[in-house]
Amino acid sequence: MRLDKFLSLTGKASRSDAGKVVRGGGVLVNGAPAQKADMNIDPDGDEIIFRGELVIYRKFTYIMMHKPDGVVSATEDDREETVLDLLPEEITRIRPALFPCGRLDKHTTGLMIITNNGQLSHRLLSPTRHVDKTYEFSVKFPLSDEDVTALESGVDIGGYITAPCKLILEPPNPDERGRAGKITLHEGKYHQIKLMMEAQHNQITSLKRVTFGPLALDPALRAGEWRMLTEDEIKALEKAGGISG
Question: Which of 98, 131, 207, 240 touches ligand URA by CB under 6 A?
Answer: 207
Phi, psi angle pair for 43, to nearest 5°: -60, -25
Contact between 104 and ligand URA per CB under 6 A: yes
State yes or no: is 105 an active-site residue: yes
Residue 66 is a binding residue for ligand URA (CB under 6 A): no
| 191: contact with ligand URA by CB under 6 A | yes
Which CB, 23 or 191, lies closer to ligand URA?
191
Residue 66, SS3 per DSSP? strand
Query: Which C-beta is closer to ligand URA: that of 108 or that of 121?
Result: 108
Instruction: Give the active site residue among 46, 105, 132, 218.
Output: 105
**128-133 CB contacts, 8 Å cutoff, 24+ apart:** 129/186, 129/240, 129/241, 129/242, 130/186, 131/186, 131/212, 131/213, 131/240, 131/241, 132/184, 132/185, 132/186, 132/211, 132/213, 133/184, 133/185, 133/186, 133/188, 133/209, 133/211, 133/212, 133/213
Q: How far is the CB of 85 from ligand URA (least distance, A)?
A: 18
CA 222 distance to own-chain centroid: 13
Under the binding rule (CB under 6 A), the answer on residue 186 touching ligand URA is no
- By CB under 6 A, residue 105 contacts ligand URA: yes
67 sits near ligand URA (criterion: CB under 6 A):
no
Backbone angles phi, psi at 214, to 5 degrees: -80, -5
User: Near ligand URA by CB under 6 A, which window of 41-49, 119-127, 151-159, 185-193?
Assistant: 185-193
Q: Would residue 47 be called left, alpha or beta, if left means φ above 0 and alpha means ψ between -120 and 50 degrees?
A: beta
Instruction: Using CB under 6 A, count the residues that bind ligand URA.
Output: 8
Smallest separation, CB 55 to ligand URA (Å): 35
Select from 115, 117, 162, 192 the one that contacts ligand URA (CB under 6 A): 192
d(CA 192, CA 157): 8
Applying CB under 6 A, which of residues 37, 41, 84, 108 lies at the interface with ligand URA? 108
Q: What share of the chain is helix, strand, coil (3-state, %, to 5)?
A: 25, 25, 50
Q: Is 113 a residue that touches ligand URA (CB under 6 A)?
A: no
* Interface stretch with ligand URA, choices 42-50, 82-90, 170-178, 192-200 (CB under 6 A): 192-200
C-alpha to C-alpha distance for 141 and 189, rounded to whole angstroms: 23
Contacts with ligand URA by CB under 6 A lie at: 104-105, 108, 191-194, 207
Catalytic machinery residues: 105
